[in-house]
Amino acid sequence: MVLAKTLGRGALACVLLLLAACGTRSISNSGYEGRGNAMYRGELSEYDVLGVDRNGGFSEAEIQAAMVRKQPIAIRRGSAVLLVQSGALMADPDMISAMEKYFAVTSFSGVPLDTPRYAGAPQSPPVPYSQLFRMAAAKGGYETVIVYWGVLESASKGLGGKAISWIPIIGGVVPDETQQMRIRLMMAVIDVKTGQWESFSPEPFDDEAMSNEHGRAASDQRQVMALKAKAYRAAADAVALRYGR
């Protein structure tokens, strides 16, 4: 039993040693090791975007009434959609391109505002993003707002060549690390007229790539771009399949 426990601890130690790095970053700040978007100021709150007061303030009767009023959301193919990527000044080009297969898309800023938004006096409650986005969309003739969030999760594992990664070979140096990366998205589809919304998470995608110290950053960014392109195409297809008419 003591030997088994010792082996268990040893195996865990090996795993911890093999994992050189792991972390999570936003798709809106996806540069290698923090070298990302200088405009990044964090993410939009889902509560604020969807018009749900996180502090409560609603009754059981209001909850029941909201359930009664709920209607299925539909998006006409070719209709105008306001697209918002949380944390980014504009939606990523690959997402815009993917959505434009089905809808007339305009990107809108998803950078959180620095100062509170007030409808009247400063002491009044701040205006939630749900109303700001719907008003902007209504004035522009957009029937639907789509807001999306995304995270990139990565873990790196050292290879047997780690100790000799500086020995030159033809075309570069020996790869000494494998990075596994996964992208996950969450989509919120908001009807401008009613304010009703639905959300879902498309299929996640994974990738694995080997790199050496000289090419680590470039390899990382190739993974990021490839995973974003796959996830965005899948997300656009899922929106069209779920809500298209």
Residue 72: inside a domain = yes
Rounded distance between C-alpha atoms, residue 24 and residue 156, angstroms: 12
Signed CA dihedral, 33, 92, 226, 173: sign only = negative
Over the Cα atoms of the chain, what is R_g?
23
Residue 9: inside a domain = no
Residue 147: inside a domain = yes
pTM here is: 0.79
Residue 149: inside a domain = yes
Residue 7: inside a domain = no
pLDDT at 7: 39
pLDDT at 92: 98
Rounded distance between C-alpha atoms, residue 48 and residue 114, angstroms: 15
Pairing of strands 144-158, 172-173: unpaired
pLDDT at 159: 58
* Domains: count for the chain: 1
Number of H helices, E strands in the chain: 6, 9
Among residues 189, 233, 224, the alpha carbon closest in space to that of 98 is found at 233
Residue 114: inside a domain = yes
**Could you list the residue range(s) of the whole structural domain that residue 152 is in?**
19-243
For the record, the structure tokens of 196 come out as 């009703």
Residue 137: inside a domain = yes
Residue range 111-142, pLDDT digits in tens: 998 765 555 555 556 788 999 999 999 999 99
pLDDT per residue as tens, the chain (245 positions) = 444 444 344 443 333 334 445 789 999 999 988 787 788 999 999 988 998 766 666 667 766 776 767 788 999 999 999 999 999 999 999 999 999 999 999 999 999 987 655 555 555 567 889 999 999 999 999 999 999 999 999 887 765 545 444 445 454 555 668 889 999 999 999 999 999 999 999 999 999 888 777 678 899 999 999 999 999 999 999 999 999 88
Residue 24: inside a domain = yes
